[in-house]
Amino acid sequence: MAEVKTTPAPLSLDDIRARIDAIDADMLRLVDERAGLARAVAAAKAAAGDLGFGLRPAREAQLLRRLLAQPRQGASAALVVRVWREMIGASLSLQGPFHLAVWGGRDPTRTVELARLRFGSAPALRHAAKAEDALAAARTPGGVAALALTPDTAWWGRLLAEPKLRVFAALPCLAAWGPTSALAVGEVPVEPTGDDVTFWVTDAGQSASAIEEALGRDGVAATPLVEAGGLKLFALAGFYQAEDPRLARAPGRLSGVIGAAPAPLDV
């Protein structure tokens, strides 16, 4: 006689709510444990004499990519990224000074939103009246500046003369949240992650499309982002060193790399 297979009865609403409550309790325990480990990291660094800013963009990107590569049934990439960005931001705030300065150009609300999506709600945030003020804040311990890309100012061109400030993140970090409309700047390590975008500035007088074509002939895939004040900003696919000979041959007398960022995490 053939075996009769029975379909399990669907869970009742009360059963589902009870399971959610149990998961919430488990999540709280794990989040609390993770926060405690962040304090332990701070103590260990202090004992070792390491008092520098703990932000490591490359490590964060690699962590998030590993998480997003895991099988998921209901959690979207946006949910995963937002939850872990909040935890990472809170951990950094426990380890030492961490504050944001935001210059939003014509749409400050949007840039604030992007800064919070990237760094979480833990770090203190203030609005900067000018791009220069945001960059000044990024030079202080634990400082990060989030600045909009607008045709009104070539603030990014100033980074060519900066000894330590570098672009390390493109905002937003998910393609689903829209195109790159702001950049994050700080005195933090800029390291390759395996899938990156390099930001390059030139004063070349040719059109953006002509510069893009010239770079392409040398094997460099470039996308124009914005131009202002006689300067043009491009996003180059890949991680480029400042002394790369292909960039040395590119159009322009005043040009250079101003940083790099992980490519969108959901592409």
Both 192 and 181 in a single domain?
Answer: yes
Condensed to tens digits (0 to 9), the pLDDT of residues 152-169 reads 999 999 999 999 999 999
Position 14 in a domain: no
Both 25 and 121 in a single domain?
Answer: no
Both 43 and 128 in a single domain?
Answer: no
pLDDT value of residue 177: 95
Position 103 in a domain: yes
pLDDT value of residue 14: 87
pLDDT value of residue 43: 82
The Cα 12–Cα 56 span in angstroms is 45
Both 171 and 69 in a single domain?
Answer: yes
Both 39 and 92 in a single domain?
Answer: no
Both 38 and 62 in a single domain?
Answer: no
Both 160 and 124 in a single domain?
Answer: yes
Both 146 and 30 in a single domain?
Answer: no
- Torsion (CA) 133, 138, 144, 150 in degrees, nearest 10: 40
Position 58 in a domain: yes
pLDDT reading at 1 higher than 60: no
Both 73 and 26 in a single domain?
Answer: no
pLDDT value of residue 152: 92
Both 79 and 201 in a single domain?
Answer: yes
Secondary structure (DSSP) of 137-163: HHTSTTEEEEEE--TT--GGGGGGG-S
Q: How far apart are the first and last CA of the chain?
A: 52
What is the share, in percent, of the chain residues with pLDDT greater than 70? 96
Res. 23 pLDDT band, cuts 50 70 90: very high
Condensed to tens digits (0 to 9), the pLDDT of residues 37-93 reads 888 887 887 777 776 788 999 999 999 999 999 999 999 999 999 999 999 999 999
Res. 2 pLDDT band, cuts 50 70 90: low
Both 104 and 28 in a single domain?
Answer: no
**Integer CA distances (angstroms), 155 to 87, 132, 210, 227, 229, in order:** 30, 7, 23, 11, 9
The model's pTM: 0.91
Both 34 and 98 in a single domain?
Answer: no
- Domain coverage including residue 33: 21-50
pLDDT value of residue 248: 94
Average pLDDT score, the chain: 93
Q: What residues contact 49, with CB distance under 8 A and at least 6 apart?
A: none
pLDDT value of residue 202: 98
Position 16 in a domain: no
Identify whether 97 is preceded by a cis peptide bond (ω within 30 of 0): no
